[in-house]
Amino acid sequence: MDQNMNSTKEGLISGSGAIQHKAYARVGLLGNPSDVYFGKTISFSLANFWAFVTLEPSPHLIINPHPIHDLVQFDSLDHLVNRLQSEGYYGGVRLLMSICKLFHKHCKDNNINLSPGNFTLSYDTNIPRQAGLSGSSAIVCAALSCLLDFYKVRHLIKVEVRPNLILSAEKELGIVAGLQDRVAQVYGGLVHMDFSKENMDKLGHGIYTPMDISLLPPLHLIYAENPSDSGKVHSTIRQRWLNGDELVISSMKEVADIAAEGKSAILQKNYQKLAELMNRNFDLRRCMFGDECLGALNIEMVEVARRVGATSKFTGSEGAVVAFCPEGPPQVKRLEDKCRKAGFSIQAIQVVPSCLNDVDLKTLSK
């Protein structure tokens, strides 16, 4: 660490005023996707991958494009087209701009005075794209932390509200998502989340309960380096739920109940029960969404794990899988071999401890 940098929880502040924050990828362990249907989930922050944002005071407000993720210079037309087909049109600049706008709006709406001063924002990330690991929200989360420290308003914006702020910045850009990912990234560690309609209507956010990360068994992450065969068919689940589709409503309730059961199983270290719940979570999702929507590559990642007797489910919407090998190291070895033969990457999961510092903790509702 630079001797001129002072460390905060997941952040650095230099003597020159530069502020740096990390936000990590997210794994939805149980209950997803019920977070957008007034359900319950359990998620954790993944130390294997992260986004990193730097804010430096400057005469003008500048958003620096990333030299890779915001590429605007190409070797040829073929290069441009291939790039767009593999990476899409958007990098992180629009995310940084959006959180700046929504942060300003939140402060204005809540009579939080911001001191004058400009800055330059830049970012980097190693979170795999299109892997269902919440790479976009990690950039937004890290940027928000930088803004909180630059304007010295961390104590004025409650921890429980910050995931809503991050989500609003993404919705501004047309990104469809729920609160689960942003809660996991703001809090860090392992978190049980209750998004019941009563809580959401009354509080504007869910009830978030941190759990001890040491209660988790060893887990593994499986993902595709180039998820080109992700599900391309648009899901109709949201509209079916709004229309009162009994299958969707009952299945989504069962998915939410899985998170509640999972909380008890984790607290008791009942890993056999946890394995059953993880498998059931994916099976319900598959029943609701259908194979065409989920995509053959995504389903194959789940099946590769199950063929060696491991339990497995999506980490999020698609693109990566969290797997648990209840039989221990020999089963892990078989899973690693199968993944490599199938062309998938696999890593032992490292869970991030809580990201909240003393100032953050004082803002939490009692």
For the annotated catalytic residues, the residue numbers are: 181
Report d(CA 273, CA 262) in Å as an integer.
Answer: 8
Instruction: Phi first, then psi: give them for residue 328, nearest 5 degrees.
Output: 90, -160
Could you give the residue ranges of the DSSP H alpha helices within the chain? 77-87, 93-109, 135-150, 162-171, 180-187, 197-203, 237-242, 246-267, 271-289, 291-294, 296-307, 329-342, 358-363
> Cβ(48)–Cβ(25) under 8 Å?
yes
> Cβ(57)–Cβ(94) under 8 Å?
no
| Encoded amino acid at 71, one letter | L
Kindly tell me the burial class for residue 292, based on how many C-beta atoms sit within 10 Å of its own C-beta (0-12, 13-18, 19 or more): exposed
Q: Measuring CA to CA, which residue among 180, 178, 203 is closest to residue 190?
A: 180
Report d(CA 112, CA 125) in Å as an integer.
Answer: 30
Task: For the chain, give the number of residues.
Answer: 366
Report d(CA 99, CA 101) in Å as an integer.
Answer: 5
Kindly tell me the burial class for residue 276, based on how many C-beta atoms sit within 10 Å of its own C-beta (0-12, 13-18, 19 or more): middle
Q: 3-state DSSP call for residue 167?
A: helix
Which two structure tokens, joined as six digits, stand for 34?
């019920």
Report d(CA 281, CA 119) in Å as an integer.
Answer: 44
Count helices and strands in the chain by DSSP H and E runs: 13, 12
